[in-house]
Each structure stands twice: as C-alpha cells, then as structure tokens.
A and B are shown apart, each in its own frame.
Chain A
Amino acid sequence: MKFTTAQEWLALAEQHNLTLAEVVIRAEAAASELAVEQIMAKMRQNLLVMEDSVKRGLTEPVYSRSGLTGGAAFQLMQALKEQTTLTSCLYLKAAMYALSTAEVNASMGRICAAPTAGAAGVVPGVIIALGEALQLDQDQLLAALFVAAGVGQVAAENAQLVGAALGCQAEIGVAAAMAAAGGAFLAGCSALGCLDAASLALQNLLGLTCDPVAGYVEIPCISRNSAAAVNALICIELAKAGVSSKIPLDDAVLAMIDIGKRMHPDLRETSRGGLAVTPTGKLLAQQCESNCRFKQEN
C-alpha cells in the first residue's frame, strides 16, 4: 500500500474501507522493515515526548538559550489560573501547549520535530488539547498522529519542508495542516473532511516568510506556533460543521511550492529581510552577538 498524493491516500482509504490512519500505518509497514507493533511503539515514544513538552513550559518559566525569549506559556498559564484570560476553552489550551513546546525547543529541551523543530508545537498542541477536551485514549491520539504524519508525507513528496527552501509556510503552514487533519480525525470528521481541514489550514498560512530575528528559532517562531494551533482548530470546526474546501489539499501544497519558489531569498531563513532587519530586530541581534564568548581568529 502506497500513496504520494492526498487524492491517492483518500482513494486507498475508500477502496479498502480503512481509516486515513490505517492507510498511513500500512504504507509505513510496506515501505520500512518495521512491523506494525514497532511502528506503533515508535509513535508512542513521539507522543510521550510531546506530552512532556506541552506541559513543561506551563509548570515553570522556560527561557531560550539566547536569552531573547521565554516564559510566555507560563505567563499565559498564570493568567488562566487568575481567571484574567478572555477565554478558558480548548483554543487557549492548544495555544498554551504549542507555546510551551516551542519554548522548550528554544531552551535546548527535548522535543519531537513535527515536521521541524521550529514548528514542533503545533501538532502536539492541537492533538493533546483536543484529546483532553474529548477525553480520548492514547490509541486515538496515536491514530491522529499518523493522520497528521500522512499530511506531512504528502506535502514532503514534492516540497522541502524547511524555511530556507519555501519559507515558514512550509514549516508552520504544513504543521497546521497536519494538526488540522489529525484533529479533525479525532473530532470524527470523514476522511475527506480531515483532508479539507488540512487544506484550509495550509491555505490560511500560505505566503508566510521565514525572517527570524538574529537567526534564532524564536521571534516570531514561538508565538507563531500558538497562532497556527488556533488556526488549525478553526479549520477543524469548519470541517466538522460540514464546510468543505474548494481547493483540495494537493492543490494547496502546489500553491505553497509555487509561492515558496517565488519568495525572495532574503525572506527564506537568511535573516536578511523582514523582522530580522527592523531597527529592533537588528538591535536584538547585536545584543545576542555581545553574549558570544569565543574570540575571533584570523
């Protein structure tokens, strides 16, 4: 069993009367030398790391190695405890979880890349928050992670999922699409509904550039993880309500590649444009540089 596009994936699920998750697991077993139990065990390891990283930033303020950022997830958690947030629903929780993971990553903590380290907060944020809200068991969360991975596989078929190649849309955008599909799966959407949620989530983030301050995966990457999680949830809501995406996921990926290729190199992880070259961005970069301790040789 194998698929390279969302359309083929969907067709396999329909033909064989399988869920999207089952197709991904069978394709993985066919392509690798791993047995299904080994594949499940490996994904369980990923989930355990995710569960740890979504919570760590809430129980203690976590600061980045550069000193540029940190403590945002903890601050949000304190506000929630003090009941000063605007809302206390699933959306806020998913955002906090995503934020926590992104902060743990910047602090040299342990994360599971999804699909990259810089976008690692989106998938666990949505899947774990939704799992808690709907009181789902571990097997259901694992299935959702396989659906999320399937979206990443389809996107990675023709695109390099790194900011340097196609901008942030290929990292955070794809992460949101993955989270939306996995979340829609948990919410009981049809296979097409899951893929439509993914397509909508990616469409909402097309064009996103990669212009991080001082070259670090922090500003705007960390807060962007939380925004992408909320974006994914809205797309899950739409799919659950029966709203379809006029543009299928495969086409949204094509659009991402087209836009990414036209994106100026200054806006693709070089820190030569956008936020990185604003007066404040430059000042923060200088401050980071002055933290460096090693001397220059000729």
Chain B
Amino acid sequence: MPRHSVFDILGPIMIGPSSSHTAGAVRLGRMVRTIVGGLPSQVHIKLHGSFAETYQGHGTDLALIAGLLGLSESDPAISDAGQLAAASGAKIEFSLVDLGPEIHPNTAVFECKLADGTSTTVVGHSTGGGTILISRIDRFAVALTGELHCLITEHRDEPGIVAAVTKILADHRVNIAFLSLSRSGKGEKALMTIEADEPIPADAAASIAAVRGVERVRMVAAL
C-alpha cells in the first residue's frame, strides 16, 4: 500500500500560497479558538522566525485571524479576515518577536483576553504541510496536534483526581490514546491533556468539571 493517499498527492484544496505559512496558520488559529472556547475579545499575536520574516507575502497574519474566526483553510474569505475580525468586534493586533534559535521557525504566540475577563496564552507552531503543534497553554507544556479529540483539565495537584477523571471517561467508553500531566509545583496547579480517538461526550466533560479539585475543563475537538 502506498503510504500516501491519492488525496495527499492531489490535495488538499487550500487557499495559497503556502501549506505551512497559510494553511497551517489557519489551523493554528482555529486550534486556539477551540482551546479558549471561542473568539477572544482581544488577541495579541506575536510572530517569530520565518513567520515574522515572511508573514506579509504569505498572508500568515490573515490566515491566523481567519482561524480565530473559525474559517477553514479552503475558505476564500481568508483574504478578507482582517475586515471580518473588525466587523466581529474582536481586537486583534500583531507584533514581531525573536524567541531564540531553539524555537521552531514558524511560531505564533497568542495572548488572548476573553469575554469573561480571563486571559490565556497559547503557543503554537506550523510544522509543515499544514500540520501544527500546540506546545504551551499558559504556564503548561503540552503537545497537541489537532489530529485527535482532546480534553484538558486544570486542577489541583492532589491524589485521586487523575483516577476520578479517567474513571468518568472509562464509564463513557472513551478510549484514551494519549495522556500527559504537568504541574506548576507540588500541591499547586496541574494541567492534564487527554487525547482520544472518538469525540468526548459533553456529559462526560460536565461530570469531570464537577470532580472536586478540578478547576476548569476545556474540550478541544479534532481539527
């Protein structure tokens, strides 16, 4: 069997000019929208590396905005994303940063202010051919590609929470493909990402949100 589908070779249908700097950027923006739960009221996007150097001709800025607005990478409206964002009332601004040579060249930092007054910072990379990687949500290191359905909990670092969360998922017949955990310090705030092959049911998420010690649940559907 050829490793590549016919439609990896002829396709995807996309808005040009670049799979990494345009299509991948749309997917990054859309992933951030999903993580923060909608279009933020204010976003400051910092572009690093090749994103900072070539965003203008690749329309990377418009592509990131388009993603935040929920557009797909084949939507011709991407080139009007600036006006669409202005019409939506969201305030989106950009600056260029140098995060150092170790950071992937196609990187964007999204500093989001949400309607409820909270803030979330998400760091993402366009890793080639339209694929993406989210590497950070606020202080926590993550590794999300948007290929699988994901549930993210923010909770207190104390015994029993992981067991309670995974029990709820097991009760809903959700098979966990990947699970990762990080914490800011012993007994402090922790973040868990759970990736599953199938969509995670909303009532499972609601039950998880009700677990004592769980402060926040984010549902991040596959892109």
Contact = CB atoms under 8 A, between A and B. Distances in A.
A109 interface: yes
B15 A65 contact: no
Contacts, number: 164
Interface residues of A, number: 64
B54 A106 contact: no
Contacts of A292: 55-56, 96
A39 B114 CA distance: 42
A31 B7 CA distance: 12
B95 A295 contact: yes
Interface in A22-70: 24, 27-28, 30-32, 39, 42-43, 45-46, 49, 64-68
Interface in A212-255: 214-218
Contacts of A2: 1-2
A118 B16 CA distance: 8
Interface string A277-298: 0000000000011011111111
- Residue among B19, B61, B76, B97 having the largest count of chain A Cβ atoms under 10 Å: B19
B57 interface: yes
A145 B53 contact: no
A194 B46 CA distance: 49
Given A27-B2, A146-B6, A296-B96, A215 B12 contact: no
A148 B56 CA distance: 33
Given A154-B2, A297-B46, A217 B17 contact: yes
B76 A68 contact: no
Given A45-B13, A108-B79, A111-B13, A156 B2 contact: yes
B95 A214 contact: no
Given A27-B1, A288-B56, A156 B14 contact: no
A3 B61 CA distance: 41
A105 to B, nearest CB: 3
A165 to B, nearest CB: 10
Contacts of B53: 215, 289
B180 interface: no
Contacts of A154: 2
A107 interface: yes
Contact of A116 (B4, B19, B46): B19
Interface string B113-151: 000000000000000110000000000000000000000
Interface string B96-111: 1110000000000000
A28 B9 contact: no
B5 A296 contact: no
Nearest to B73: A110
A107 B10 contact: no
A76 B17 CA distance: 22
A1 to B, nearest CB: 9
Given A27-B2, A295-B95, A109 B56 contact: no
A153 interface: yes
B186 interface: no
A198 interface: no
Contacts of B12: 112-113
B11 interface: yes
A112 B54 CA distance: 22
A114 B14 CA distance: 11
B13 A112 contact: yes
A157 interface: yes
B96 A156 contact: no
A118 B94 CA distance: 27
24 contacts: A2-B2, A24-B6, A30-B1, A43-B6, A45-B13, A108-B15, A108-B22, A110-B13, A110-B76, A111-B13, A112-B10, A113-B11, A113-B12, A113-B19, A117-B22, A157-B4, A162-B129, A215-B53, A216-B17, A216-B58, A218-B17, A291-B56, A293-B56, A297-B96
Interface of B: 1-19, 22-23, 46-47, 50, 52-59, 61-62, 74, 76, 78-79, 94-98, 128-129
Q: Which 4 A-B pairs have the closest CB atoms?
A: A66-B57, A105-B16, A152-B9, A2-B1
